[in-house]
Structure 1
Amino acid sequence: MTREIYLVTHRYRPDAQHSAAIIENELTRHGFEVRRSGPLGDAEIVVVLGGDGTILSATELTRGTEVPIVGINYGHVGFLAEVEPEGLARVVEQITEREWTLDRRMTMDIEVTLSDGRKASTWTLNEAALDKHGKPMIEVSLGVDGRGVSSFSCDSVLMSTPTGSTAYSFSAGGPVVWPDVEAMLLVPIAAHALFTRPLVVGPGSELEIALHTNGAVLVCDGRRDLPVDAGSLITARKSDYPVYLARLNETPFSGRLVKKFALPVRGWRDRGRQ
């Protein structure tokens, strides 16, 4: 039976397009059928050449399945990517030999109840951002498990997963949460209030944002937009459908964190070796 690979490439990066042609030729030479469009089909892995945005687009193909994504970084930080472009040849070898492990990433289901009672639903791997969308500020009330916890005006409020804790939430001052910790974050941005600390809740909780301002928009993973009006209620819950990333090496998350953010690492272990 012919093995299938799905290839996703950044549309506007010539270097990514060039590498995609190389990897497609190599995989074809190894007997794979390489697909670039249409449904996921019987693909056993999705290879993404691009940055985190391109990887997030690929999750729309794989969510609800156990098909993993392996990212080759042609973006900036590329926190979701597994390897840099110079590792392209090794990626082909490891795919051929099925030398990868699965990294299970929690996602969140987002439900919006609009002021007229209509409901809409979506999901997110990184975060759902309720944004002022050109307004001076938005007025919100925050709740956890059906109980109010705070109200204030702000520029935005994020509901984030551990995966998203190194993305928009990190820039907004939220904590870094290891991806194997099942939790949800509630992170206000530029809030006009005394109590605006990020909140971290368990996977069985529900996060809620009641909106009191018209003209806001809810943006999930920077890709899926939903206009919301005053009187809307946004709820986030842990989803039953994770996303899987393929890991090609055993570097722990702490090592990835240090590498991607170029963190200065000088501690007692270094001193102890001197």
Structure 2
Amino acid sequence: MREILLVVHTGRADNRRVAEKVATWFAAAGVRLRVVDEEAPDLDPSCYAGVVPLGPTAAEGTELVFVLGGDGTLLRAAELARPAGVPVLGVNLGRVGFLAEAESDALAEAVELVVEQGYLVEDRMTIDVTATLAGEVIADTWALNEASLEKSSRERILDVTIDVDRRPVSSFGCDGVLCATPTGSTAYAYSAGGPIVWPDVQAMLVVPSNAHAMFSRPLVVSPRSVVGVSIDTDGQSGVLCCDGRRTFEVPPGARVEVRGGRLPIKLARLRDDPFTDRLVDKFALPVHGWRSR
């Protein structure tokens, strides 16, 4: 029997009602749903046929991770899907507007395409992130969108040196430095002044945030390179945060290294619309001339 891992933002009652409807549709099509143990108590038992522990094996043996929620829920689901190498399909309820309308044609179409296996799958680059202090590893993690090294004190600045492939590029004081993937180029990195990169481009972005320097432009580097961000030994400590979910304290003298990830994330999409169209839609860009608006 086909099996899908259902991940839901259970903190909203509307989401839970949508999950019940989705479960009914999948069950009618002979598709079994499982949920993680942390979400099961918040869902009606009719929503799932099995419960698995939250962790790297949660998605093993499934065809897909089906996500009901926003971008944060999608990132949480990606953590479960990545070790199993299965695709993640996100239905952003808040953005598309079917929170209170579980009968929505769009939602029904999403389930139907999954049942018919009519979805598309694309690999999205990730980054692997390591922080060391005096040769000892103090953090070892990854990110789909970005890794940010930021100042830990609002009143102070973070003194850093950036290097690429162990060759120094620049030193400056700043609020932080972001290392992002093309997927993350429309997220935090965009708000920090970074460029938008099409998702099929293999590259890493380095985006300083409020840097006090003559040269603090965003950099686009090869995914085969290693980007290093070192905190001055006499400076302030920083905070390393990956995808807004995994956070580590990074003391003075520590070094953060970012490189292309060993494992990609497989994202499922329901339509083959170009990224250009999705970008225009996401930011409501005026494509017909600003004077005609």
TM-score (norm: length of structure 2): 0.85
- Aligned-partner Cα distance in 2 for 1:240–1:261: 31
Contact 2:145 2:181 in 1 (8 A): yes
Post-superposition shift, 1:120? 2.6
Q: 2:213 aligns with which of 168, 193, 198?
A: 193
More deviation, 85-94/112-121: 112-121
Q: 2:244 aligns with which of 222, 228, 234?
A: 222
In the alignment, structure 2 segments of 5+ residues that lack a partner are: 37-51, 53-57, 98-103
- Aligned-partner Cα distance in 2 for 1:77–1:200: 32
- Aligned-partner Cα distance in 2 for 1:230–1:9: 39
Aligned-residue Cα RMSD (Å) equals: 1.8
1:120 match: 139
Contact 1:4 1:35 in 2 (8 A): yes
Structure 1 segment 226-241 matched on structure 2, within 5 A: 226-241=248-263
- Aligned-partner Cα distance in 2 for 1:231–1:163: 30
- Aligned-partner Cα distance in 2 for 1:209–1:5: 39
Give secondary structure in 2 for the equivalent of 1:57.
helix
- After superposition, the C-alpha distances for 1:107-161 in whole angstroms (9 at most, x for unaligned) are 0111111246344310000000001122421100000011000000000100100
1:81 match: none
1:89 match: 108
Contact 1:64 1:243 in 2 (8 A): no
| Ranges of 4+ aligned residues in structure 1 off by more than 6 Å | none
- Judged with a 3 Å threshold, the aligned counterparts in structure 2 of structure 1 residues 226 and 32 are, in CA distance, closer, same or farther, namely same
Give secondary structure in 1 for the equivalent of 2:114.
helix
Letter in 2 for 1:226: F
Post-superposition shift, 1:20? 1.0
- Aligned-partner Cα distance in 1 for 2:75–2:5: 15
2:265 match: 243
Percent of residue pairs bearing the same amino acid type: 48
Matched, 1:22 2:30: no
- Aligned-partner Cα distance in 2 for 1:254–1:21: 34
Matched, 1:265 2:276: no
Matched, 1:179 2:178: no
- Aligned-partner Cα distance in 1 for 2:160–2:271: 43
- Aligned-partner Cα distance in 2 for 1:13–1:86: 21
- Aligned-partner Cα distance in 1 for 2:148–2:173: 15
More deviation, 116-125/98-107: 116-125
Matched, 1:139 2:139: no
- Judged with a 3 Å threshold, the aligned counterparts in structure 2 of structure 1 residues 32 and 77 are, in CA distance, closer, same or farther, namely closer
TM-score (norm: length of structure 1): 0.91
Post-superposition shift, 1:251? 0.6
Give secondary structure in 2 for the equivalent of 1:151.
strand
